Amino acid sequence: MSEIDSRYDRLARFYKIGKIGVKAFNRANVVILGCGALGSQHAETLARAGFGRLTLIDRDFVERSNLQRQTLFTEDDAENATPKVIALQKHLAKINCDIEVTPHIVDVSSDNIEALIAGHDLLLDGTDNLALRMLINDACYKQGIPWIFGSALESYGMSYNFNFDSDPESSTSLERRDIRSNHQAAPCLRCLLQTLPLESHDTCSSVGVIQPILQMISSIQTTEAMKYFADREAVRETLFSIDLWDFHPQNISLHRLKDPECLTCGPNPTYPALHQKKREAERLCGDGSVMIREVAPLNLKQLKNRLDQRHIDSQYNEYFLNIHLPSHRVILFADGRGIVYGVIDTEEALQLYNRVVAF
């Protein structure tokens, strides 16, 4: 074990991984998109396993309501409203100081996703909405990056591997492949949407979620990530789903659902999600809040000065501007995003956002 850090001794002793697998983990470059309930657990597991480079991408900051299910975050993180990727970076440094962790506090969109994920070996999904997963799907297929889907709500969860090599014998290196000539039998996410209900109108704020299902799905996703680097032939080719409360696991082959003319994984891809550029307003997985995305960035320091002149209470730091209106709270980010609290209607939230940035 002289050539392997002693911290990975037990990992290397597992014959499916061995010393070669540990070294592959050390060289791996993985992006985790979404660093909440699933993504925070992805990050901890991969950091402890010695995955050499982790890129963390998330737009949100830690709130008290996160602490029930989002591991590694602390009450101090919530009290200070620390951005999730910054909190994770800080905690991961105390777990494994030898790995490289790069945080991005950003709202992922068609404008930036390709640049954010370029050059990575694998993407782990930690998101909670279909629109963002469609962006992931199109960007990963365009760049030839495999990605591992995961979703959980109440006590039910599922996971699937997208854009993995169909022939394990041809997957002995991590070199990029031209997916336009890769005639995989497996479907992409766009193929599946024609048949499978992969998105629910429910959210964790409306129906709740228990942490064990999040731990289960994260464990499935991170195990598949380990297989990808250490034992490619063992990678799962089925949709895994389970209801933990009733303990009803299933493995289902989805190959028959592949669309031969798919605009993402077919012979003439156009990657439609990457061409959608528009202002968006969406209800968040929380009580009474709406997130607004604007293409134009904001000068938060100048806005803070204008608010002070109007005697409007606000707090400014390097991450965001927190504004207290008589009946609402608005948080603005430098990239143009805003979160409006105390509203449910997206149009009302847009009006409040426009009012605040016009001060």
Q: Which segments of the chain does DSSP mark as H helices, in order?
A: 9-13, 18-27, 39-48, 75-79, 84-95, 113-117, 130-143, 189-192, 204-207, 211-230, 300-309, 346-357
For residue 290, give Cα distances in angstroms to 65, 109, 175, 293: 16, 17, 41, 10
Which residues make Cβ contacts (< 8 Å) with residue 266, sequence separation at least 6?
259, 260
Strands of the sheet containing 156-162, edge to edge, are 100-105, 53-58, 29-33, 122-125, 147-153, 156-162, 238-243, 248-253
Residue finishing a domain among 254, 274, 294:
274
Q: Answer yes or no: 204 catalytic.
A: yes
Would 216 be classed as within a structural domain?
yes
Same domain, yes or no: 152 and 296: no
Residue 166 C-alpha from the chain's centroid: 24
Residue type, 134: M
Same domain, yes or no: 315 and 189: no
Which residues make Cβ contacts (< 8 Å) with residue 319, sequence separation at least 6?
61, 83, 86, 105, 333
Range of the domain at 56: 6-274
The burial of 246, by beta-carbon neighbours within 10 Å (0-12 exposed, 13-18 middle, 19 or more buried), is given as exposed
- Which residue, among 57, 215, 221, has the nearest Cα to 149 in the 3D structure? 221
- Which residue, among 135, 149, 137, 128, has the nearest Cα to 202 in the 3D structure? 128
pLDDT at 40: 97
Would 1 be classed as within a structural domain?
no
Which residues make Cβ contacts (< 8 Å) with residue 3, sequence separation at least 6?
19
Residue 211 C-alpha from the chain's centroid: 17
Same domain, yes or no: 255 and 322: no
pLDDT at 208: 85
Same domain, yes or no: 78 and 136: yes
Decide: helix, strand or coil at residue 80.
coil
Check which CATH number belongs to the domain holding 131 and give it: 3.40.50.720
Residue of 35, 204, 262, 285 with catalytic role? 204
Same domain, yes or no: 117 and 161: yes
Same domain, yes or no: 82 and 149: yes
The burial of 250, by beta-carbon neighbours within 10 Å (0-12 exposed, 13-18 middle, 19 or more buried), is given as exposed
Which residues make Cβ contacts (< 8 Å) with residue 270, sequence separation at least 6?
263
Matching residue, tokens 């064990």: 212
Same domain, yes or no: 171 and 268: yes
Which residues make Cβ contacts (< 8 Å) with residue 175, sequence separation at least 6?
none
Same domain, yes or no: 332 and 201: no
- pLDDT tens digits for the chain (359 residues)? 346 789 999 999 999 999 999 999 999 999 999 999 999 999 999 999 999 999 999 988 999 999 999 999 999 999 999 999 999 999 999 999 999 999 999 889 898 999 999 999 999 999 988 889 999 999 999 999 999 999 999 999 999 999 997 443 444 334 444 433 344 579 999 999 878 766 665 666 667 899 999 999 999 999 999 999 999 999 999 999 999 999 999 999 999 999 999 999 999 999 999 987 656 777 776 667 888 877 678 889 989 998 998 899 999 988 899 999 988 999 998 888 899 998 888 888 888 888 888 77
Count of positions (residues) in the chain: 359
pLDDT at 277: 65
pLDDT at 293: 78
pLDDT at 196: 78
Same domain, yes or no: 268 and 353: no
Same domain, yes or no: 296 and 311: yes
Q: What is the pTM of this model?
A: 0.81
Do residues 58 and 105 make contact, with C-beta atoms less than 8 angstroms apart? yes
Whole-angstrom Cα Rg for the chain: 21
Query: Domains in the chain: how many in total?
Result: 2
The burial of 205, by beta-carbon neighbours within 10 Å (0-12 exposed, 13-18 middle, 19 or more buried), is given as middle
Decide: helix, strand or coil at residue 61.
strand
Same domain, yes or no: 292 and 218: no
Rounded distance between C-alpha atoms, residue 202 and residue 265, angstroms: 29
